[in-house]
Amino acid sequence: MGTPAPGERVGLFGGTFDPPHVGHLATAVNVRHELRLDRVLLVVNNVPWQKVGSREISPADDRLAMVEAAVGEVEGIEASRLELDAGGLSYTADTLGTLLAEDPSRALFVVLGSDAAAGLLTWERADEVRDRASVVVVERPGSPETPPLPGWRWERVEVPSLEVSSTDLRARVAEGRPLDYLVPREVVECIARRGLYRQATRSEEQP
Ligand code: ATP
Ligand code: MG
């Protein structure tokens, strides 16, 4: 990564990425372009607290490997293992704190789809997130627009509307349907190599 430039503009796009897909990647690239960010980090959640108990989540090292495969050589888009290294539950407030402790001159941007933005106030120490970063919301097909929260630094960025979800992709693998063009080829290969998603997880099985 090298020594960060002072005043670096960094986007944090957090997710379970189980698996990462073109919706995530097109969002990261277009937000970086529109807001002239130096880098967008795809921050792999260690234990995504919103999802614990609802389904089986792939091991963090599998999800990180897929995100690394997904970003490849795309300039300014990076896989981040910050929350894996921190261990325990993943809270954005802490991740922002870590990035600011490394370099207080950084300007941080938390990137979210509209579905995730709707839950912002339920986040652990939401006030710290508000104070440490701007929020960047992209519309996600099927999710209503989320109005800006008063007192937050808030931006909306238009990105190509891609109706893709990791939930659908997991079901595709379990049912033997193709993933091609919905995720980069390197991710298709990574999923096959690691034998991921071959069986539907209990809560996602069809009745
Ligand atoms: P799952 O179906 O398992 O919840 P997902 O596709 O929603 O997976 P996540 O890892 O939950 O992916 O999402 C991480 C972030 O990416 C969230 O902020 C989410 O809103 C955003 N996101 C996911 N898919 C898209 C998409 N197709 N377009 C724009 N944003 C997206
Ligand atoms: Mg999701």
- pLDDT digit string, tens, across residues 173-203: 999 999 999 999 999 999 999 999 998 655 5
Q: Give a yes or no: residue 60 inside a domain.
A: yes
Q: Are strands 9-15 and 107-113 parallel, antiparallel or unpaired?
A: parallel
pLDDT at 110: 98
Q: Give a yes or no: residue 185 inside a domain.
A: no
Q: Give residue 207's pLDDT band: very low, low, confident or very high (50, 70, 90).
A: very low
Q: Give a yes or no: residue 189 inside a domain.
A: no
Closest CA to 81 of 127, 5, 17: 17
Q: Give residue 149's pLDDT band: very low, low, confident or very high (50, 70, 90).
A: very high
Q: What percentage of the chain has pLDDT greater than the value 70?
A: 91
- HSE-CB of 112 using CA atoms within 13 angstroms: 24
Mutate to test the pocket of ligand 1, among 12, 17, 27 (most ligand atoms within 8 A of CB): 27
Q: Give a yes or no: residue 99 inside a domain.
A: yes
Residue 16 CA: nearest ligand 1 atom is: 10
Q: Give a yes or no: residue 17 inside a domain.
A: yes
Q: Is residue 128 exposed (0-12), middle (13-18) or buried (19+ Cβ within 10 Å)?
A: middle
Q: List the Cα angle 194/198/204 in 5-degree steps.
A: 125
Q: How many A from CA of 160 to the centre of ligand 1?
A: 14
Whether 20 lines ligand 1, by a CB cut-off of 6 Å, is no
Whether 116 lines ligand 1, by a CB cut-off of 6 Å, is yes
Q: How many A from CA of 6 to the centre of ligand 2?
A: 33
Look up the CATH number of the domain holding residue 88.
Answer: 3.40.50.620
Please report, for residues 52, 76, 95, 112, the alpha-carbon distance to residue 156 in angstroms, rounded to integers and kept in the order given: 29, 20, 22, 10
Q: List the Cα angle 29/9/114 in 5-degree steps.
A: 50
Q: Give a yes or no: residue 184 inside a domain.
A: no
What's the rounded Cα separation, in Å, for the pair 44 and 203? 22
What's the rounded Cα separation, in Å, for the pair 64 and 34? 26
Whether 56 lines ligand 1, by a CB cut-off of 6 Å, is no
Q: Give a yes or no: residue 93 inside a domain.
A: yes
Q: How many A from CA of 51 to the centre of ligand 2?
A: 9
Q: How many A from CA of 166 to the centre of ligand 2?
A: 7
Please report, for residues 62, 68, 167, 193, the alpha-carbon distance to residue 65 in angstroms, rounded to integers and kept in the order given: 5, 5, 18, 11
Q: Residue 67 sits in which domain range?
A: 9-163
Per-residue pLDDT tens digits for 127-136: 999 999 999 9
Number of domains, the chain: 1
Segment 26-53 shows an average pLDDT of: 90
Segment 153-160 shows an average pLDDT of: 97
Q: Give residue 56's pLDDT band: very low, low, confident or very high (50, 70, 90).
A: confident
> In this predicted model, which residue has the larger pLDDT, 199 or 161?
161
Whether 113 lines ligand 1, by a CB cut-off of 6 Å, is yes
Whether 115 lines ligand 1, by a CB cut-off of 6 Å, is yes
pLDDT over 90 at 52, yes or no: no
pLDDT over 60 at 205, yes or no: no
* Chain mean position to CA 110: 10
Q: Give a yes or no: residue 179 inside a domain.
A: no
pLDDT at 96: 98
| Ligand with an atom nearest the CA of residue 42 | 1
Contact by Cβ (8 Å): 41, 83: no
Q: How many A from CA of 38 to the centre of ligand 2?
A: 25
pLDDT over 50 at 141, yes or no: yes
